[in-house]
């Protein structure tokens, strides 16, 4: 068994607090950071930035506007909620009302809520 394997076995036996202490001491001793490095993507040839297409969206109800009743009805219908749940959700704005929707579904929900006077953001 190599020295590295022996160290790994010893580290496996440490508590979480001991691991945190070990990391701090390694950072201090060697002048390094255990923070995850940030990857920087190189621009493709031609100088155009390659923007990754976002595929999942969260729908945030920012404000229910002047017609809360219509917004509650729309949320109830679109999210298949009970009246009480829809009302509580709308009244807690700003709130994420749907997570990880595809672009078309997120836009359809957003449009339906905007149609009844709500302020909606896609994130």
Q: State the alpha helices, DSSP H only, in the chain.
A: 3-12, 16-30, 68-79, 83-91, 103-115
d(CA 95, CA 110): 13
Question: What contacts 24+ positions apart, CB below 8 Å, involve 66-71?
Answer: 66/117, 67/116, 67/117, 70/116, 70/117, 71/113, 71/116, 71/117, 71/118
CA distances from 106 to 20, 34, 46, 52, 81 (A): 41, 37, 33, 18, 17
Neighbours of 38 (CB within 10 A): 5
- Confidence check: pLDDT of 114 > 90: yes
Asked if pLDDT for residue 12 goes beyond 70, the answer is: yes
CA angle, residues 115, 113, 96, in degrees to nearest 5: 160
pLDDT, tens only, 27-67:
788 777 666 555 555 555 554 444 567 888 899 999 988 99
Specify the pLDDT at position 29: 83
Cis peptide before 42 (omega within 30 of 0): no
């Amino acid at each position: 068994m190599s020295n590295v394997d022996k160290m790994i076995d010893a580290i496996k036996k440490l508590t979480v607090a001991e691991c945190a202490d070990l990391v701090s001491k390694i950072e201090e001793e060697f002048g390094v950071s255990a923070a995850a490095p940030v990857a920087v993507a190189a621009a493709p040839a031609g100088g155009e930035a390659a923007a990754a297409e976002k595929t999942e969206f969260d729908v945030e109800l920012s404000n229910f506007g002047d017609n809360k009743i219509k917004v509650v009805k729309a949320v109830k219908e679109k999210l298949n909620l009970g009246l009480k749940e829809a009302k509580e959700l709308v009244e807690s704005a700003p709130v994420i009302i749907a997570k990880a929707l595809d672009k078309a579904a997120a836009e359809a929900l957003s449009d339906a809520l905007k149609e009844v006077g709500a302020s909606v953001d896609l994130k």
